Amino acid sequence: MSYPMKARHLGTWALFGVSLSASVVLLLAWILLTPLYIAFFGPATAAVLLLAALFLPKISLGTVPLPPERVLASLGYRLRLEGFQVQQAPGELIVRLGTYAATKLRVRGTRDGSETLYQAFATSSGWGTLIFLLVIVWTAVAAFPLIAYLWYRASSFATRRAGPLLEDASALREIPRPDDIAAALLEGLAEGHRLASDAYDATRTTYYDLLAIVLFLAFATWGLFVVFLFLGLADWEPTARIRAASLLSILPGAILAVIPMWYLRRRYRPSLLRHRFWAGRLQEAFNREALRRSPEAAEPSAFELLAEASQELPTWLEAVRRAGVSADPAAGFLLLVLLLGAWSVLSAAWGWTNVSGSFAALLGTSGVVLAVAAFVFYRRWRIHRDAELNRIRDEWRRRFAELRTRMDRFLQDL
């Protein structure tokens, strides 16, 4: 290793302390020295600064005299054996640490071998919760403990779990042989469990997003009926009018809420149960294989289970694809900001048409640029997402084909 673990740990805590102190000072300055409307946005701004200070740096875990591919393969395999969900991409690993936290491990080649760096990260649920707290603005104060929690989980995992794995270079060399069937089964079960869990999360996110839209439309319908009925009961006393309009509007609002909610539950509940069933089934099989236990008489072998999971793979990937930007809250938030900005600028341009034609044209051009930027960003994001899903599908098929070849060769040698 290039330097002691204690020095790295002290450095990360120093970064955390300085960032938190600066955010608190900035927050107090906004509250005490600036107008009220700026103080209102102070917590959200300070939270964003703290998030950037803790999540953007890439902190080194040290250097080992091995090629990057060997380090990535060994780290991924050993972390999966310890029960972590690991997503592997070119040059990096994303390790899930519960519902909200995650760590991104990057490996890059150096003169002395490979340097491993870690970066605080979050799951889709973690990013979605953070964005929600920051967008609402007055809930931004609650983002501070969540940011600190996510950073602590990521830093603690990197220094206490991933770091010790890198300290033993000889253990990193002892990766499974290409013909090790048991290791291939474990990796296949771990990857299947991750994909089934991702499909469950994506389907649940889509379901909740549609429920939110239905409730919003139902509330809007109730409000419109209240206005129309209030205006229609012109001869009534105002208090009685608003009371009667509110009560009579409940029925259409409830109808617009209950029927779509019943339909959404009927449509998505079977998929949710199936994805959760497969995630649990693959997790149990992984635990059984890791402990070298034989399956019960009624249970399929690990290879048979992976063969069945291969049939489910298109469904899992399609669930993630259908979720769209809902499965990537950070991209969804940026797309929403661009669209809202385009709408606001174009609306302002329309209002300025009778005041200043040149200024209205300038605003209109800016709005069109923002709209085009939103379209280009979404298109590029979709292409990248589809390419990633195709890579995962091809990688799964390649891994399963190799495993089947090894199994056939093993049976022939018996």
99-157 tens-digit pLDDT: 888 999 998 888 878 888 999 998 888 887 888 888 777 778 888 888 889 999 999 99
In this structure, of 127-141, 215-229, 257-271, 303-317, the range with the lowest mean pLDDT score is: 127-141
- Residues 30 and 45 sit within 8 Å (Cβ to Cβ): yes
Q: Return all residues near 300 (Cβ < 8 A) that are at least 6 apart.
A: 308
pLDDT at position 221 over 90: no
pLDDT band at 269 (very low <50, low <70, confident <90, very high): very high
333-366 tens-digit pLDDT: 778 778 877 887 788 788 777 777 787 888 788 8
In degrees, rounded to 5, the angle at the alpha carbon of residue 87 between the alpha carbons of residues 82 and 89 is 135
pLDDT band at 20 (very low <50, low <70, confident <90, very high): low
Percentage of the chain with pLDDT > 90? 8
What sign does the CA torsion over 170, 172, 173, 177 have?
positive
Q: Transcribe 162-174 into DSSP letters.
A: IHHHHH-HHHHH-
Axis crossing angle, helix 143-157 with helix 5-33, rounded to the nearest 10: 170
**β-pairing verdict for 85-89 and 113-122:** unpaired
CB-facing half-sphere around the CA of 398: CA atoms within 13 A: 6
Q: How far is CA 276 from each of CA 82, 199, 280, 328, rounded to the nearest angstrom? A: 21, 9, 6, 20
Name the burial class of residue 396, with classes exposed (0-12), middle (13-18) and buried (19+) by CB atoms within 10 angstroms of its CB: buried
pLDDT at position 41 over 70: no
Residue at token pair 């399609």: 318
d(C-alpha 189, C-alpha 201), whole Å:
18
**Predicted TM-score of the model (pTM):** 0.72
DSSP 235: T
Q: Which residues on adjacent β-strands are paired with residue 59?
A: 118
- Residues 122 and 104 sit within 8 Å (Cβ to Cβ): no
d(C-alpha 196, C-alpha 270), whole Å:
14
Task: Please give the average per-residue pLDDT across 166-174, as a whole number.
Answer: 64
Domain 5-44+54-175 has CATH 3.40.50.720: no
44-67 tens-digit pLDDT: 778 888 888 888 888 888 888 888
Q: Look up residue 81 and give its amino acid.
A: L
Domain boundary assignment for the chain: 5-44+54-175, 180-295, 328-414
359-412 tens-digit pLDDT: 788 878 888 888 888 898 889 888 988 888 888 888 888 888 877 877 777 666
Q: Look up residue 168 and give its amino acid.
A: D
Sheet of 113-122: strand order equals: 59-64, 113-122, 101-110, 92-97, 85-89
